[in-house]
Amino acid sequence: MRIAIIGCGWVGERLAKYLTGKNYHVIATTTSPEKIIALEKVATEVHLLDFNSTIDFGFLDHVNVAIFSMPISRNGWHQGFEKLDQQFPKTILFSSTGIYPQEDKIFTENDTDHLRTDILASENLVRQKYPQTNILRFGGLMGDERLLKNMFKNRQPENPSKPTNYIHYEDILPIVELVLHSEIKSETYNIVAPKHPSIAEVLNLESQTSDDNKTETKQRIISSEHLIQDFNYTFIHPNPTYF
């Protein structure tokens, strides 16, 4: 299976290593020449691809699955993306749970009100061009050096009672592989650990999880139940407290 990861960033590089290790033919693209050497260590092929300047997309011919991992909240790639004329049997878009509003609510993929317009515009653009696209909305990316304790090493969190909506990259990798082999098309999934401890609980902060604080802080929860049900998936890292 030939898999193209278009826009190989922090998650993409780890995904490329994971898939290459399972003998998939991985084509990684980047807009940054300085990233080529690192990506060559984890992918079968590496190409510079900038939708605003690349003319020849021939290296994407015969790709079985295209994974789009461009910056989801930016539109700098939109115009060039529309010129892409390759057809792919399967497509996946990496998006973000940042699309959901900051409200006291448990959000599912059925919630469509007050979504962030920049992220929604990117999702719609890809779906219009490739209607079969499965959209994976990632929670806050965690793992390796990305840990909450590192983020707050030199500062206190403003809202310690805020629930966490994070995902460990070691869950993203097998989830993507499940989607690769699925016959499901045109679906959207929230990819978030099913447990939502507060920031204070993850950081083990003292006396900052009172009921008053919880009342003042929006209890925004992103549900991954749709993914769990469709794929019978059991999270490797279900609780951000132990990331």
List, for residues 181-212, the tens digit of each pLDDT value: 999 999 999 999 999 999 999 999 975 445 55
pLDDT tier at 214, thresholds 50, 70, 90: low
Calpha distance 142→224 (Å, rounded) = 16
Calpha distance 16→6 (Å, rounded) = 11
Is pTM, for the whole model, over 0.75? Answer: yes
The tokens describing 35, both together, are 């990233």
CATH of region 2-148+166-197+220-242: 3.40.50.720
> Are the C-beta atoms of 77 and 49 separated by less than 8 Å?
no
CA angle, 79 as apex, 76 and 80 as ends, to 5°? 90
List, for residues 87-117, the tens digit of each pLDDT value: 999 999 999 999 999 999 999 999 999 999 9
Task: Give the pLDDT of residue 209.
Answer: 47
